[in-house]
Amino acid sequence: MALELGNGDNVRAETCALPREISDAQAAKPLLQITDLSIDAVSEEIKTPIVQHVSFDVAANETLALIGESGSGKTMTALATLGLLPKNLHASGAVNFKGVNLLASAESELNRLRGRSLALIFQNAKSAFNPTFRIGTQITDVMRTHLIITKKQAKERALDFLTKVGLPDPASVFRAYPHQLSGGMAQRAMIALGLSCNPELVIADEPTSALDRKTQTEIVELLQNMQRNHGFGLWLISHNLALILTVADKIAVMKEGRIVEYGLSANMLAQPADPYTRKLLNQTKIKLV
């Protein structure tokens, strides 16, 4: 079975197969469980709600897609999870990673987890990399921060991951500065950096933004393949419902800071419950063929 998009394009059947069913074991033991998360902007005595009462979970070897329009609160939810909110934003509720509430964790504990157990893959990788350091230096620095590893071992591991993400000349990319890479190459290098310490949960924030359609599909397929090989939980953040439906096991639809629908993506495609979800599906003009 394949999906046909509104423009008449067919994407390969293996890419667009309906999501696999989630096992009882996966559902019973989520890696990440967000419960009643709210985020407020605090200014003097004024509190402005940004995210309100958000709840969802992600299990190992499962893909959760958080979708919604720009400004709906998707990225803020991810930043709250990682303890990276700006100082004027306050988060409440619970964000449990393997039973530990990250909202109540000390900065030292968050620093230990970020990059090692929890990885964030940024949108627009060319801007996310430090422009003054070579790609290889940035990847090996992350590994040497979180792993017991020599400089030589870190370089070998970095080259291995640059190869795994499909870069044709890993040694050249290792030596390159971010501005010397194309958008697609930089995004692949960012994925290599994010996965280099074998994280248990990967948060990919709009990983295909600013890329052409072919490269978007390649990046999503790459994340799928790496997940199959490494077994991490994947939390995808996107506004591109047509692309996300090809890979997500579960989808949380976000509108104006709230989750308006949450469930298995196959069920959501077959029978969306919320008018906003139906609107998004109608905009993509997705149909089964």
Which residues are CB-contacts of 280 (< 8 A; sequence separation ≥ 6)? 67, 241, 253
- The answer to whether position 111 is within a domain reads yes
Query: What CATH number corresponds to the domain at position 213?
Result: 3.40.50.300
- Give residue 283's pLDDT: 82
Question: Residue 77 sits in which domain range?
Answer: 3-117+199-288
CB 85 within 8 A of CB 79: yes
- The answer to whether position 130 is within a domain reads no
- Chain centroid to Cα 157, Å, comes to 22
Is the pTM above the cut of 0.75?
yes
CB 31 within 8 A of CB 233: yes
pLDDT tens string for the chain (289 positions)? 333 334 444 333 333 333 344 444 444 589 999 999 999 999 888 999 999 999 999 999 999 999 999 999 999 999 999 999 999 999 999 999 999 999 999 999 999 999 899 999 988 899 899 999 999 999 999 999 999 999 999 999 999 999 999 999 999 999 999 999 999 999 999 999 999 999 999 999 999 887 888 999 999 999 999 999 999 999 999 988 888 887 999 999 999 999 999 999 999 988 999 999 999 888 876 553 3
CB 72 within 8 A of CB 78: no
Pairing, β 63-67 against β 233-238 = parallel
Enter the tokens of residue 158. Answer: 């970095």
- The answer to whether position 31 is within a domain reads yes
Q: Please tell me the total count of domains within the chain.
A: 1
- The answer to whether position 184 is within a domain reads no
- Give residue 209's pLDDT: 84
- The answer to whether position 106 is within a domain reads yes
- The answer to whether position 23 is within a domain reads yes
The closest alpha carbon to 209, from 275, 127, 94, 279, belongs to 127
- The answer to whether position 125 is within a domain reads no
- The answer to whether position 16 is within a domain reads yes
- Give residue 107's pLDDT: 94
- Give residue 12's pLDDT: 34
- Give residue 16's pLDDT: 33
